[in-house]
Amino acid sequence: MKQLILGGARSGKSRLAERLALQSGFEVTYIATASAGDAEMQQRIQQHRDRRPSHWHLVEEPLALAQVLQQHAGHQDLLLVDCLTLWLSNLICLEQPTELRRQRDALLTVLPTLPGQIILVSNEVGMGIVPMGALSRQFQDEMGLLQQHVAACCERVVLTVAGLPHVLKPAGTFLKIED
């Protein structure tokens, strides 16, 4: 099963994804897309590390996400990608539109073919005002389009608000989370 967990900043989306991974019973590989550019980001990364079980595998990959997913996906495995937002930011900051398209297209091509369980985490950024800067508008547009395509590939899509999961796909289902 492929799942997309959406939510705003500090909405509980990563914690939800981690709980689902823990409950799955599968071997978990955590794919981190963040790069620590400053002390504040390093602290955020450390908080995520401290929360994760020590037996989970870790792969840090800021750009070649499709390649890493292909390398690590297996029928008895769960890959948790946290997060698509930082991955897309990394690609946009390269200022190489061809590479952005190549990596995005590679992800969208490989995602439906992967065996095992995949949980993708992403920030919902399209519910606010349209940003003033061109780069911010480009990011918001690219993120919205990416999320639409990823959601189409996923069997389950969950929007997390205030720590509460709201199942968007499939419609009318309930997500039971155990502590």
51-91 pLDDT tens trace: 888 899 999 999 999 999 999 999 999 999 999 999 999 99
What is residue 179's predicted lDDT score, i.e. its pLDDT? 62
Q: For domain 2-169, give its CATH number from 3.40.50.720, 3.40.50.300, 3.40.50.1820, 3.30.70.20.
A: 3.40.50.300
The interaxial angle of helices 134-153 and 97-110, nearest 10 deg, is 20
With bands split at pLDDT 50, 70 and 90, how would you rate the model's confidence at 171? confident
Our answer to whether residue 48 is catalytic in this structure is yes
Instruction: Cite the beta strand spans of 61-129 per DSSP E.
Output: 77-82, 117-123
Residue among 121, 106, 133 nearest 32 (CA): 121
Q: Residue ranges per domain, the chain?
A: 2-169
What is residue 132's predicted lDDT score, i.e. its pLDDT? 87
pLDDT greater than 70 at residue 114: yes
Phi/psi of residue 34, nearest 5 degrees:
-75, 150
pLDDT greater than 90 at residue 172: no
Structure tokens that stand for 9 in this block: 């900043």
Q: Is the dihedral of CA 37, 42, 48, 50 positive or negative?
A: positive
| Weakest mean pLDDT among 15-19, 50-54, 140-144, 150-154 | 50-54
